Amino acid sequence: MTLHSDQKGKEQDWSTESSEGVQSRLKQLGPSFTFEELWEFHKHSVGKSRPSAKGSMTLRKKGMIVGNAVILCAILLAGIGLYSPSIGAALQKVFFIDSFYKNVGGGMDSGLYQIEKQNLGTATDVSVKDQDIRLTVAEVFYDGIQFVVNYQVDYLKKQKIKEEDAAVYYKYKFEDAHPGMIGTHTFTITGDHTFIGTTVFNTEPLPENARLHIEIRRIGTTDGNWDVTVPVSLDKTKPLIKIVRPQMAGAYEDKKFMIDQITFTPVGTQVVIKTDHSGSLYYFLEDDLETRLPGAGGGMGGGGEERSNFAPLSEVNPKPPYVTLLVGEVASQQTNTLVQQREEYADYTSPGSLPVTLKGNKGGTVTITDVQFLKDSTVVYYEASDAVNQRPFLILQDSSGKGFVSAPNAVRLSRDSFAYKLQYPKLPSDRFTFKLIVNEYSQEPKEPVKVKIPIDWE
């Protein structure tokens, strides 16, 4: 994350402060279910072995951003500027979302790919130039729950940019609106004079035809003026959005809640809960095939309301007849004692090494069925024996012991089985070891309350 500071660095580090607050909140809302716990384990162990320049995420490159009327972070949005159709058309060919996922690493859902796949973004063709630096916004996306901005910065006279040059500093606010937000962003240097950026954040509802004003007074180490204003519109995504208002009441022990609204979009899912126990309950969402929708982060709440964000419905089951909300108590998960983190191994030397079956959770299994070596990535196909094992924490480990984690999360491939695929970075060799990490507890977590929510897609 880019920090907001003056030239002497004396300004308060608001973005760091917000990040710590968000992480604390997420720890409260995110219970210790298998994948989440394993992901934390990975960050503390496997992640340490990654080279800091490319593999590990620093605060500067990745951070959580929270705010209301005015939020300090590093994002560039389109607005009033010089119209440049040729530049905008060229930027449409840049794979912003792919670069974003490569930077954020694993543990994030793959819904953002739908923006490019379904052409859901709105091209802006806006370019602003100052101090021999040109700022061009290629695309803006909004679906009522998420806001995504893709942009490029060109240094017109600098010989070769460095990492410190790939940053944008700004303040912004919505006109006549004060939504809460939480999100993340990445920057990617793409040439000697150029870097691109993608910013993704979840937001509370915005008024129709909202306008966002951004004050940008520094790019990299250069002060200047790149102020812009951008309209936020649902025009392109509204026909693809489905809103359900269940108004269904429930309770976990003595903690009551009401499922107020669920919003389904091609890119994400948001559940709005009314409760007086904000922060003490956790929520998971499954479709009728027991596909657990990965959490998309960015939970927001206050005033008796909580908004939980998830990945979109799977492509193999885009219109389930119902979804199930799982509700449990955060405190009950935190009391579980972790006995051990069991590790299961299998070597891969050639296609003849497959299939191979690894022992999973609660007597289940994970069978690896295929591996594909692509130009820029490695794709692993597997089938879980049951729903409990459908999202295993599977690491690919090279001969030096370096581990590679998948990004983004697993994609379900079949309605009839728990068949998935995982995408990993390109490996240095076509020989490696599968490493499956399984958490085992001294006592099983308390079962969450399950609320079945019918959906009429007509």
* pLDDT tens-digit readout, 51-64: 333 332 333 333 34
Flag the least confident range among 149-153, 212-216, 274-278, 449-453: 212-216
Task: Please give, one letter per residue, the 3-state secondary structure of 391-439.
Answer: CCEEEEECCCCCEECCCCCCEECCCCCEEEEEEEECCCCCCEEEEEEEE
pLDDT above 80 (res 2): no
Query: What confidence tens digit (pLDDT) does each residue in 324-352 have?
Result: 999 999 877 666 667 789 999 999 999 99
pLDDT at position 56 is 29
pLDDT at position 169 is 85
Among candidates 345, 447, 352, which has minimal Cα distance to 397? 345
pLDDT at position 182 is 80
Query: What confidence tens digit (pLDDT) does each residue in 32-53 have?
Result: 333 343 333 433 343 333 333 3
pLDDT at position 333 is 66
Segment 237-258 shows an average pLDDT of 95
> Rounded distance, CA 312 to CA 411, Å?
11
Q: 204: exposed, middle or buried (C-beta count within 10 Å: 0-12, 13-18, 19+)?
A: buried
- How many C-beta atoms lie closer than 10 Å to residue 89's C-beta? 12
Percent of the chain whose predicted confidence (pLDDT) is above 90: 50
Q: What are phi and psi of 332, to 5 degrees?
A: -65, -30
pLDDT at position 185 is 82
Among candidates 412, 416, 336, which has minimal Cα distance to 381? 412
pLDDT at position 51 is 33
Distances (CA, A) of 6 to 16, 134, 157, 163, 440: 15, 22, 24, 19, 49
> Rounded distance, CA 310 to CA 336, Å?
25
pLDDT above 80 (res 283): yes
Confidence of residue 19 (pLDDT cuts 50, 70, 90): very low
pLDDT at position 336 is 63
Flag the least confident range among 148-152, 269-273, 377-381: 148-152
pLDDT at position 91 is 55
pLDDT at position 140 is 86
What rounded mean pLDDT belongs to the chain? 79
Among candidates 382, 422, 389, which has minimal Cα distance to 405? 422
pLDDT above 90 (res 310): yes
Residue with tokens 């027991």: 290
Q: Which residue has the higher pLDDT, 222 or 211?
A: 222
Confidence of residue 69 (pLDDT cuts 50, 70, 90): very low
Segment 272-288 shows an average pLDDT of 92
pLDDT above 80 (res 407): no
Residue with tokens 């695309």: 139
Segment 305-322 shows an average pLDDT of 94
- Domain at 14-238: CATH code: 2.60.40.1630
> Identical fold at 14-238 and 241-335?
yes
**What does 166-217 look like in DSSP terms, one character per residue?**
S-EEEEEEETT----EEEEEEEEE-SSSEEEEEEEEEE----TTEEEEEEEE
241-335 topology per CATH: Immunoglobulin-like (2.60.40)
**What does 75-91 look like in DSSP terms, one character per residue?**
-----SSEE-HHHHHHH
Task: Write down how long the chain is.
Answer: 458
- How many C-beta atoms lie closer than 10 Å to residue 18's C-beta? 20
Q: Which residue has the higher pLDDT, 48 or 355?
A: 355
pLDDT above 70 (res 417): yes
Query: What confidence tens digit (pLDDT) does each residue in 166-210 have?
Result: 998 877 788 888 888 887 888 999 999 999 988 887 888 888 888
CB 308 within 8 A of CB 315: no
Helix or strand or coil: residue 329?
A: strand
Q: Where are the beta strands (DSSP E) in 56-145?
A: 65-67, 71-73, 82-83, 122-130, 133-142
How big is the CA angle at 448 (ends 446 and 453), to the nearest 5 degrees? Answer: 170
Domain locations in the chain as residue ranges? 14-238, 241-335, 338-441
Segment 77-92 shows an average pLDDT of 40
pLDDT at position 229 is 80
Confidence of residue 318 (pLDDT cuts 50, 70, 90): very high
pLDDT at position 334 is 62
First and final C-alpha spacing in the chain: 43
Helix or strand or coil: residue 26?
A: helix
pLDDT above 80 (res 89): no
Segment 372-387 shows an average pLDDT of 96
Q: Which residue has the higher pLDDT, 354 or 106?
A: 354
Cα pseudo-dihedral 41, 62, 278, 441, rounded to 10 = -10
Flag the least confident range among 68-82, 150-164, 289-303, 308-322: 68-82
- Domain at 338-441: CATH code: 2.60.40.1640
> Rounded distance, CA 93 to CA 171, Å?
29
Flag the least confident range among 41-45, 101-105, 388-392: 41-45
